[in-house]
Amino acid sequence: MTFSPQLEQRFAKLLTRYPEGRTRSAVIPMLIYAQDEVGAVTRELIDEVAKRCKVTPVQVDEVVGYYSMLHRKPQGKFHVQVCTNISCLLVGGEELYEHAKKKLGVGHKETTADGQFSLEEVECMGACSWAPAVEINYDFHHHVTPEKLDQLIDGLRKAQ
Amino acid sequence: MAELVKLNIDGRDIEAEKGALLIEVARQNGIEVPAFCYHEDYTLQAACRMCLVEIEKTPKLQVGCTTPVAEGMVVRTDSDIVKKARKGTLEFLLTNHPLDCPVCDKGGECELQDMVFRYGAGESRFVERKHHVDEKQWSPVVYFDAPRCILCYRCVRACNEGMGVGALGVGNRGAVSEIIPNHDDHLECDECGACIDICPVGALTSGSYRYQTRPWEMEHVGTICTHCADGCKTTLGVRNDEIMRGNNRDRSGINDEFLCIKGRYAFDFTKHPERLQSPMLRTANGHEAISWSKALDIIATKFSTVKLAGGKFGVIGSNHTTNEENFFLAKFARQALETKNVDHHRTGDLATLFDALSGKNNALATSADLYNAKAVLVIGADLSQQHPFLAFQARANVRHHNGHIYAVTTGEVREDQQAVASVRVQKGGELAGVESLREKLKAEGDLVVVFGDAVQGDALRKLVAFGDSLGIPVKYVCLVDYSNSRGAFDMGVTPKDGGLSREEMLAAADLDVLWVVGANPLKNTQLVSKKAFVVVQDLFMTETAKQADIVLPAASAYEKSGTVTNVCGEVQKLAQAIKVMGPKTDLEIMGLIAKEMGLNLGIWLPEKVFAEIRKAVHGYDVSPAQLAVGPAATMPLNGRVAALPGAIQSSGDTLFTSGSLTRYSEILNSVMEAPGQLYRGKGQ
Amino acid sequence: MAKQLYNPPSPLETRVLSKRFGLEGSETLDVYLANDGFKAFLKAKEMTPEAIIEEVKTSALRGRGGAGFPTGLKWSFVPRTSPKPRVLVVNADESEPGCCKDRLLIEYDPHQLIEGILIASLAVDAHVGYVYVRGEYRYLVEKMDRAIEEAYARGYLGDNVAGTGWKFDLHTHSGAGAYECGEETALLDSLEGKRGVPRMKPPFPAVAGAWGMPTLLNNVETFSAIPPIIRDGGAAFAALGTPKNGGTRLMCLSGHVNKPGVYEIPLGFPMMKAINELGGGMRNGKKLKAVVPGGSSCPLLKADECDIPMDYDTLAKVGSMLGAGGMVVLDEDTDMVKFALRIMRFYQHESCGWCIPCREGTTWLRKILQRFSDGHGRREDISLIGELSKNMLGRTFCALGDAAAMPTISIVEKFTEDFEKYLVAKEAVAV
């Protein structure tokens, strides 16, 4: 499998970070960085990471199934993650999530037909004091109201 | 002697080794502490929380499986709070476990069923929907039913730690966690089925056994596997004279819980449709069935005539038949037929080894030695493929005793994973490879050397000299194929005192009679003598049987009693699991031929023959009482052994082949790894 | 994103760890150096490891990750002279619902964290460290990477830290979405490239942690508190708080208050003052119903239990915990059934699945609470919820089972009337 030079560079760095013979440690960071580029954790990617980190593919499979941010299926170009955990719940997180479902026309872990947006109801992501919060890809948005979410999504759509 | 501590469990004062696990100490003292995930051979998990016990001065309940005993500890395993905890845990377990016990294979021998019966609640408070996942087939021998799984991780550990395969993992997270195979939707592995037998519930089931019968409908007959030479005990579940399954769940036998695909599944050849059912006579139209009396009459007449005429006999015995059969055959040949032309397919150079060790005591390793020795050196063999139990022992040694493995082989072998040193050599370069390890080996406390047919003759003498020069106790295992190679040698089915070797018999143009008992010497060779009258005793129409004048249907190892001697010289008893109608045991066939010839070779009952063996064969003076309870290590004659003519060559079977039996076992042929696809080109 | 996350300083706060928040370029080494940066490290370099640990003990600093274990004591467990190299690990897997403080410490003052790590490395003679950052905080991985790069470039990491000859390497390590990895031994498994499943203790990480090496693992805030402690002395830090509860901590205020935010307050700060003054009082003039004092795993306090100083020992006395500083304020309109369900959904989703009581218990409880909240509750469910929670409590492999059980028990026992209301509504329909 080939990756961008930037990702290759990142991998090279990763593999030197851990004590000698401990390349398995690079599995999780490698998967998540590669997922960003490849779009999903594919079978091919699993085998590639296994090879690079000198583990068996099933050892990588175990990890992929465990971590909630690793996805075997491609997500939307913009992955909209709405938190509904307690701090967000108290200030409209659930309503925001319901709104997002209607706005995007998709449900939990679903992707819009055009592949642009996917939606996920997520657990606490560390924005409790600025709730309700939404993370789109890796960007945090705080104090999000349904109106603000509309603007965000429309803005991303327009930028296409 | 380790330090002892005094503790009290359930009001009983107990003394135990300091640091021993509480669960073990309790069990050793007859106090039941239930557990699913705990397994004394494998790493600790503390996952099932069934073994929670109350320890005085400790606020929370503690898991017995990871708590070391300490001086003054006061433990309760039967208090109300402990009982309540167990009940609670079982109640949790049953929330998602389907209550399909009436159809589940495990019903009747399920640990969860037993525990719920003993410790569980009568009624469930669970009224929600269960999480359902469909059953999956992972291989012809392994099925997985996720909802039944209680995630004790025994299978994962047995596969990874025990087998060294690591084909199973844990996928997903939380409530939807499940055991996963190493290739998305299927397994590529040893297909040993260890995961199935170690499963406390019916989550992993066997492709050949599932939905066939119930445990209580079977008789359970412990006998010795007839395939490789390791001598594993397999307990055959038998119903209506049909073998339904093989396992070693009671962990009796030298192999503890170990069995490979052959021991667990490859009994199916016994009911193969091509199994010979009656004696066959070669006619112009091919082989035709004839009666036993006619067949015996023809053979007896022919044998007597040739003997009277001073003709040349060739007798080939078997490395699958029992000691009694081989002993009787050798006696028949030497005493009655008056021939020294006796041999079998020799697969390891036992003669040279015994000769080279002459004068030494305790120089032959038992299978237990591979587990206990400080170091194991494997030379010229793919142990995990050819002797999977010995490989299992060595792995267990590393796991439990920090033993050291060294491998000197021509290719990659599984032993490399754990070896402290692996040396790659060209074929024939084994001794040089061994020499390169000299300094490391010298530093070991003691050593077991396991070698294949690559080391024979002079090379073997040099290997023993090398062992002598290390200055540490060294024991040897000469690897041989099949369930009774060692016995065939010990019983004298060899061309000693000037007889013709197997190859020489086949090549002798003036051979008058070739008598083959349980072997297939003509698989790849032509019989030179055109006039030879060929008698073959076998289960199937093998290449050799096809050339026979008379073929006699023989019983398999699972259909008779007697003894066999494994690769380490351990004599073990076979138990007859099923009765067969057409075929007879080789011992009976030989007895009947002798009777027909008017000979007196003694009673042909296995016990009677073994009594003779006790007197006649050095090292085999083992009492029936001793044999009844387990294996007995034999010690061959401690003295010079003359060299034997003829070739020594292993068949190089893999985990998925078993010589001529391979083609008659559907299960061995059904797995995708067969015949050796996965491992082809690797190893020795 | 552009908006700063820290609050304007309030006179009610005691800004020690957060004193550089709000300075222009506070995340840069220059600003850090100009504002007391690395004074503590240079001071520590002249101290013996024992003296450093003693200073930390004096400070009465307790782990800010949630368990509140005395930090100095934890450091003293690391075998400094072990033949195996020591490893430092920073727990930046902040995932406890209600908590969002470590974010700020990395975002606005990463060099303070680096300095804290370096001082710890002196104390336990370690030469490598890893900052384990939760996967969702990708932007913080990048910010941390930049800070680390800058520190290397300027000689504050690497072979000659601050010109002292001390050698230390620091790396970030990204997680990928798992609350359980905040548990220190699960974090270590994750760092080793495995599923984040907790490990058996003993051995404790201090003896055999990452890759079997002696490992010192602390929360971001704990490490960040070290430079001020060494710089100004442990006693000064301790004096800010109450006995055995030294110093200040970052409190994440959220929920139904007018001014939610992250505030640095001394240990022992009155809870009601936090709500009414720091938090600007209850939103919309509603009445207080309950408080989650330290994050979702802490048993809830009813309004009438909240008139207490916030320190570890007082919270323990009232049957709850200070946790990781996530204080969630609930007003009178809060539906406690829905709140309990949301907490259980979280723990069920995050249970690693390793042990039976947690895996099956959270799942069962989630199903009951969901059914209850959907209007299909039965009277016996109320006691069942409590009983099942107690069947998990203290019996699971790690603390996640307790974390799920404790708030649930507190809710079902303290707010039974909220559950009753559902039954009344259902019975009304039935009639």
The residue assigned the tokens 């016995």 is B487
Claim to verify: residue A48 and residue A96 sit in the same structural domain: no
Claim to verify: residue C124 and residue C56 sit in the same structural domain: yes
Residues in chain C within 8 Å Cβ distance of B175: 348, 351, 353, 359-360, 362-363
C355–B contact, CB cutoff 8 A:
yes
What's the CATH code of the domain at C293? Answer: 3.10.20.600
Residue B675: is the preceding peptide bond cis (ω within 30°)? yes
Residues in chain B within 8 Å Cβ distance of C388: 88
| pLDDT tens-digit series, residues B101-111 | 999 999 999 99
What is the SS3 assignment for B10?
Answer: coil
Q: Is the pLDDT of residue A55 over 70?
A: yes
- Cα separation, C64 vs C312, whole angstroms: 11
Residue C426 vs residue A65, higher pLDDT: A65
In a domain, A72, yes or no: no
- In the listed set C315, C331, C347, which residue is the last one of a domain according to the structure? C331
- Cα separation, B543 vs B546, whole angstroms: 5
Decide if B173 and C354 are in contact by the 8 Å CB cutoff: no
Residues in chain C within 8 Å Cβ distance of B112: none
Claim to verify: residue C90 and residue C196 sit in the same structural domain: yes
| pLDDT tens-digit series, residues B531-567 | 999 999 999 999 999 999 999 999 999 999 999 999 9
pLDDT band for position B361 (cuts 50, 70, 90): confident
Structure tokens at B299: 């053979």
Letter string b/e over residues B470-505, b meaning 16 or more CB atoms within 10 A of that residue's CB:
beeebbbbbbbbbbbbbbbbbbbbbbbeebbbbebb
Instruction: Identify the residue among C86, C105, C139, C254 best suited for mutation to test binding to A, counting A beta carbons within 10 A and taking the highest.
Output: C254
Decide if C176 and A33 are in contact by the 8 Å CB cutoff: no
In a domain, A73, yes or no: no
- In the listed set C209, C240, C271, which residue is the last one of a domain according to the structure? C240
What's the CATH code of the domain at C57? Answer: 3.40.50.11540
pLDDT band for position C2 (cuts 50, 70, 90): very low
Claim to verify: residue C257 and residue C212 sit in the same structural domain: no
| pLDDT tens-digit series, residues C262-301 | 999 999 999 999 999 999 999 999 999 999 999 999 999 9
Q: Which helix (H) or strand (E) holds B610?
A: helix B606-616
- Cα separation, B77 vs B330, whole angstroms: 60
How many domains does one find in chain A?
Answer: 2
Closest CB from C349, C364, C391 relative to B174: C349
- Is B273 buried (19+), middle (13-18) or exposed (0-12) by CB count in 10 A? exposed
Claim to verify: residue A92 and residue A125 sit in the same structural domain: yes
- Cα separation, B182 vs B193, whole angstroms: 15
Decide if B171 and A56 are in contact by the 8 Å CB cutoff: no
| pLDDT tens-digit series, residues B154-205 | 999 999 999 999 999 999 999 999 999 999 999 999 999 999 999 999 999 9
What's the CATH code of the domain at A29? Answer: 1.10.10
Claim to verify: residue C41 and residue C147 sit in the same structural domain: yes
Partners for C (CB, 8 Å, 3+ pairs)?
A, B
Residues in chain A within 8 Å Cβ distance of B168: 58
Claim to verify: residue C68 and residue C153 sit in the same structural domain: yes
Structure tokens at C425: 């509504």
Residues in chain A within 8 Å Cβ distance of B169: 58-59, 61-62
What is the SS3 assignment for B441?
Answer: helix
What's the CATH code of the domain at C385? Answer: 1.20.1440.230
Residue B678 pLDDT: 41
CB pairs under 8 A between A and C: 157
Sheet strands (E) in C256-325: 261-266, 269-270, 288-292, 301-302, 309-310
Q: Which residue of C has its CA nearest to B54?
A: C395
Let me know how long chain B is.
684
- Cα separation, A116 vs A77, whole angstroms: 5
| C window 49-108, beta carbon within 8 A of A | 85, 94-100, 102-103
Claim to verify: residue A122 and residue A148 sit in the same structural domain: yes
- Chain centroid to Cα B423, Å, comes to 28
Residue B675 pLDDT: 57
Claim to verify: residue C86 and residue C200 sit in the same structural domain: yes
Instruction: Identify the residue among A129, A136, A141 best suited for mutation to test binding to C, counting C beta carbons within 10 A and taking the highest.
Output: A129
Residues in chain C within 8 Å Cβ distance of B60: 394-395
Claim to verify: residue C212 and residue C360 sit in the same structural domain: no
| pLDDT tens-digit series, residues B386-417 | 999 999 999 999 999 999 999 999 999 999 99
Decide if B129 and C367 are in contact by the 8 Å CB cutoff: yes
Q: Which residue of C has its CA nearest to B174?
A: C353
For residue B679, the distance in angstroms to the closest alpha carbon of chain C comes to 28
Decide if A57 and B183 are in contact by the 8 Å CB cutoff: yes
Residue A17 vs residue C244, higher pLDDT: A17
- Cα separation, B409 vs B421, whole angstroms: 11
DSSP state of B161: I
For residue C54, the distance in angstroms to the closest alpha carbon of chain A comes to 30
Residue B245 pLDDT: 96
Residue B638 pLDDT: 67
In a domain, C183, yes or no: yes
How high does pLDDT run on average in chain B? 94
How high does pLDDT run on average in chain C? 96
Claim to verify: residue C307 and residue C233 sit in the same structural domain: no
In a domain, C54, yes or no: yes
pLDDT band for position B249 (cuts 50, 70, 90): confident
- Cα separation, C109 vs C27, whole angstroms: 5
Claim to verify: residue A62 and residue A82 sit in the same structural domain: no
- Chain centroid to Cα B168, Å, comes to 23
Claim to verify: residue A89 and residue A147 sit in the same structural domain: yes
- In the listed set C187, C217, C240, which residue is the last one of a domain according to the structure? C240
pLDDT band for position B681 (cuts 50, 70, 90): very low
Instruction: Identify the residue among C134, C194, C258 best suited for mutation to test binding to A, counting A beta carbons within 10 A and taking the highest.
Output: C194
Structure tokens at B409: 């082989």
Q: Is the pLDDT of residue C115 over 90?
A: yes
Residue C241 pLDDT: 94
Decide if C339 and A86 are in contact by the 8 Å CB cutoff: yes
Q: Is the pLDDT of residue C1 over 80?
A: no
> Are the beta carbons of C201 and C207 closer than 8 angstroms?
no
> Are the beta carbons of C306 and C292 closer than 8 angstroms?
no
- Cα separation, C17 vs B437, whole angstroms: 59
| pLDDT tens-digit series, residues B494-514 | 999 999 999 999 999 999 999
pLDDT band for position B680 (cuts 50, 70, 90): very low
| C window 14-33, beta carbon within 8 A of B | none
Domains of chain B, start order: 4-78 (3.10.20.740), 302-344+487-556+584-659 (3.40.50.740), 350-479 (3.40.228.10)
DSSP state of B160: I
Closest CB from B52, B126, B177 relative to C395: B52
Share of chain A above pLDDT 90, in %: 98
Amino acid at A138: Y
Number of C-beta neighbours around residue B182 at 10 A: 20
- Cα separation, C145 vs A14, whole angstroms: 12
Share of chain B above pLDDT 70, in %: 98
| pLDDT tens-digit series, residues C181-223 | 999 999 999 999 999 999 999 999 999 999 999 999 999 999 9
- Cα separation, B465 vs C350, whole angstroms: 62
In a domain, C23, yes or no: no
Decide if A89 and C338 are in contact by the 8 Å CB cutoff: yes
Sheet strands (E) in B469-568: 474-478, 513-517, 533-538, 550-553, 562-565
Residues in chain C within 8 Å Cβ distance of A63: 176, 193-195
Number of C-beta neighbours around residue C38 at 10 A: 24
pLDDT band for position B633 (cuts 50, 70, 90): confident
| C window 256-285, beta carbon within 8 A of B | none
Amino acid at B394: A
For residue C347, the distance in angstroms to the closest alpha carbon of chain A comes to 10
Segments forming the whole domain that contains residue A139? 78-158
For residue A64, the distance in angstroms to the closest alpha carbon of chain B comes to 8
Residue B629 pLDDT: 82
Residue A121 pLDDT: 98
Claim to verify: residue C192 and residue C278 sit in the same structural domain: no
What are the backbone angles phi and psi of residue C338, rounded to the nearest 5°?
A: -65, -35
What are the backbone angles phi and psi of residue C317, rounded to the nearest 5°?
A: -65, -35
Picking from B269, B303, B369, B315, the residue whose alpha carbon sits closest to that of residue B658 is B269
Claim to verify: residue A61 and residue A84 sit in the same structural domain: no
- Cα separation, B473 vs B362, whole angstroms: 9
C234–B contact, CB cutoff 8 A:
no
Residues in chain C within 8 Å Cβ distance of A81: 136
In a domain, C21, yes or no: no
In a domain, C17, yes or no: no
Claim to verify: residue C234 and residue C279 sit in the same structural domain: no
Q: Is the pLDDT of residue B674 over 90?
A: no
In a domain, C19, yes or no: no
A109–B contact, CB cutoff 8 A:
no
Residues in chain A within 8 Å Cβ distance of B182: 56-58
In a domain, A139, yes or no: yes
Residue B38 neighbours by CB under 8 Å, 6+ apart: B23, B44, B45, B48, B51, B65
What is the SS3 assignment for A83?
Answer: strand
In a domain, C1, yes or no: no
Segments forming the whole domain that contains residue C211? 29-240
Claim to verify: residue C341 and residue C326 sit in the same structural domain: no
Claim to verify: residue A60 and residue A84 sit in the same structural domain: no
Amino acid at A160: Q
DSSP state of B241: T
Claim to verify: residue A91 and residue A59 sit in the same structural domain: no
Closest CB from A32, A62, A124 relative to C95: A124
- Cα separation, C45 vs C266, whole angstroms: 28
How does DSSP assign B73-142, residue by residue? Answer: -EEESSSHHHHHHHHHHHHHHHHHS---TTT-TTTTS-HHHHHHHHHS-SS----SPPP----EE-SSSE
Q: What ranges in chain A are assigned the alpha helix state H?
A: 5-17, 27-38, 43-53, 57-66, 86-90, 93-104, 146-158
Q: What strands, in cross-sheet order, belong to the sheet with B421-424?
A: B421-424, B404-409, B375-379, B447-451, B474-478
| pLDDT tens-digit series, residues B314-348 | 999 999 999 999 999 999 999 999 999 999 999 99
Residues in chain B within 8 Å Cβ distance of A65: 170-173, 177, 180
Q: Is the pLDDT of residue B655 over 80?
A: yes
In a domain, A106, yes or no: yes
Residue A132: is the preceding peptide bond cis (ω within 30°)? yes
Claim to verify: residue A125 and residue A94 sit in the same structural domain: yes
Share of chain C above pLDDT 90, in %: 94
DSSP β-ladder status, B570-574 and B632-633: antiparallel
Decide if B171 and A62 are in contact by the 8 Å CB cutoff: yes
Decide if C135 and A90 are in contact by the 8 Å CB cutoff: no
pLDDT band for position C430 (cuts 50, 70, 90): low
Residues in chain C within 8 Å Cβ distance of B121: none
In a domain, C292, yes or no: yes
Query: Directed axis angle between helix A43-53 and helix A5-17, to 10°?
Result: 40
Claim to verify: residue A30 and residue A92 sit in the same structural domain: no
- Chain centroid to Cα B377, Å, comes to 21
For residue C265, the distance in angstroms to the closest alpha carbon of chain A comes to 16
| C window 388-407, beta carbon within 8 A of B | 388, 391, 394-397
> Are the beta carbons of C27 and C109 closer than 8 angstroms?
yes
- In the listed set A66, A86, A102, which residue is the last one of a domain according to the structure? A66
Claim to verify: residue A15 and residue A39 sit in the same structural domain: yes
Residues in chain C within 8 Å Cβ distance of A29: 173-174
What is the SS3 assignment for B183?
Answer: strand
How many domains does one find in chain C?
Answer: 3
Residues in chain A within 8 Å Cβ distance of B166: 56, 58-59
Q: Is the pLDDT of residue B635 over 70?
A: no
What is the SS3 assignment for C177?
Answer: coil
Decide if B184 and A43 are in contact by the 8 Å CB cutoff: yes
Closest CB from A57, A66, A68 relative to B182: A57
What's the CATH code of the domain at A86? Answer: 3.40.30.10
DSSP state of B162: I
What is the SS3 assignment for B320?
Answer: coil
Decide if B166 and A56 are in contact by the 8 Å CB cutoff: yes
Residues in chain B within 8 Å Cβ distance of A68: 173
Claim to verify: residue C200 and residue C266 sit in the same structural domain: no
Residue B682 pLDDT: 37
- In the listed set A66, A89, A111, which residue is the last one of a domain according to the structure? A66
Cα dist from B75 to B25, B30, B81, C395, whole Å: 11, 14, 12, 17
Q: Is the pLDDT of residue B676 over 80?
A: no
Query: Directed axis angle between helix C49-58 and helix C110-124, to 10°?
Result: 120
Claim to verify: residue A39 and residue A97 sit in the same structural domain: no
